[in-house]
Amino acid sequence: MQKELVFRPEQIGNVDDIKGFLARKAGVPVERLRITKAFVDARRKPDVKFCYRVTDDPETDYTSSALKYKGRVFKSYSRPVVIGFGPAGMFAGLVLSHYGLNPIIIEKGKDVARRTEDVNRYKQGGRIDPSSNIQFGEGGAGTFSDGKLYTGVTNSYQGFISQTFVKHGAPSDIMYESHPHVGTDNLVNVVKGIREEIIRLGGEVHFEEEFIKFNLNQYYRPGKIEGITTPKGYYETDTVILAIGNSSRDLIRKYVKWGITSKPFAIGVRIEHLRSDIDIAMYGFDTSIYKNIFAANYKLAVDTSTGNKLYTFCMCPGGEVVPSASYEGAICTNGMSYRNRDNINSNSALLIPFDPKKVSDDPLVGLTYQDMLETSAYKLAGKTGYAPYMTYGDLKNHRSGTKSDHINPSYSPGAIPCDLRELLPGYMTDTLTEGIALMGRKIKGFDSDSAVLTAVETRSSSPVRILRDEESFESIEIKGLFPIGEGAGYAGGIMSSAIDGIKCANRLVESMLI
């Protein structure tokens, strides 16, 4: 049995037990009902529909899709080392642990509980800890960008990743929602649970331990890894999975000889509107009147006469703009939402593609440009630690310094009105000015004069790629090194990074089969 059930907001918005309600409508015992898809049909506003696809088929177990070699016999091996405990390193480590390979995971930052304390202190105006912040620590940057699991990538591993999250405390609706959303408040417990499973299976997770160098064989297998060194010791291994995030800037600079090339990324700002304004524009009503309908999402992209595209990214409904720098003297923005998505503002990155190869052949030019913008944003705001912002009305009317009369910037520890034309090059401010106006044709009020633009957003993706073999995932420069995830330039978010980690782990295990 498969059915599609369609409801008006007032029919579904405040029911106490959605699954029980759907089971009654479908005529199926609640214990047999499974929701396979939930989405909003807002094509004919204000006649918005909330749609559910349901079945009485048993739930799929996705374990075998990710652990395809479980129970097989492997050749003798040294324990693999994973550097980095974001989504890529976490899921690579989890899969290796399930295979009984007992990985050793090295993470520069702190465990998620102490990391959360450091992040909250920084948001309240304290000094940044370069090793424990929104970029570094258990769970990676995704832990503090609310756990959006939506991705344009289609892969059989997605079900396993979502089931793993649910197993460790994520809400079960991430299995079927069209925009699955864990929430930062849930993620801190989820990543702890995955870490504990890795340890239970025989893996190790070492926090506050920073990779220093590879030890390479000089005789029998020149250039092959035979161990790594950290401040706390030496680990003998011939297999290292490099799962650093895209903010591991010092490491990238130090090891540019790994075979690094620059790659396109994007630069921009965070735009904020009142959540209720976006809800009304998208749905025709304020979602706060319903307990089962969350703040509205949007995704926009426009081409401008400047020759540049402007697009939204990492939209955070009912969320906040957060400080995402990883070193002192810099301002970098990101966005996050808690599970309920009920903060007063909604925000999104507004990004303009940037190709560093058009500027220089230097593989680090993109990283250098990011640093320049972040330190310039810090200086523009008077070296206060606050973020510079500008209203859209000021930007398009060539004014500066006006506070929004409708929206308070949510950036913590604070934001200061500035002229962003002193920070961003002219083609970018022109693209923002025209692009926001075009987006206003798609979402009413998006181009409101009071919309807040907070700078600067630079780390939506890595500015470099560590080159690897397409089949084996092994570095083209160092034998035994396997660069993966967002920091290595092969992913762009929680789900795609986790997928890359699982793929790499399975490729390694495949090479060990007897």
Query: What are φ and ψ of residue 135, in 5° steps?
Result: -95, -40
Please state the pTM of the whole predicted model.
0.95
Report residues of the chain scoring pLDDT below 70.
Answer: 145-154, 218-222
184-200 vs 157-167: helix crossing angle, rounded to 10? 100
pLDDT for the residue numbered 203: 98
Between CA 30 and CA 21 the distance in angstroms is: 9
| pLDDT confidence of residue 30 | 95
Please report, for the chain, the start and end positions of each structural domain, with discontinuous segments joined by +: 2-55, 70-260+464-512, 264-457
pLDDT, tens digit, 9 for 90 and up, residues 87-96: 999 999 999 9
Instruction: Pick the closest to residue 446 from 272, 268, 267, 266 (CA basis).
Output: 272
Contact 451, 350 (CB under 8 A): no
- Please give the pLDDT value at position 152: 58
What does the alpha-carbon distance between residue 284 and residue 290 come to, in Å, rounded to a whole number? 13
Identify the CATH number of the domain defined by range 70-260+464-512: 3.50.50.60
Q: What is the pLDDT of residue 394?
A: 97
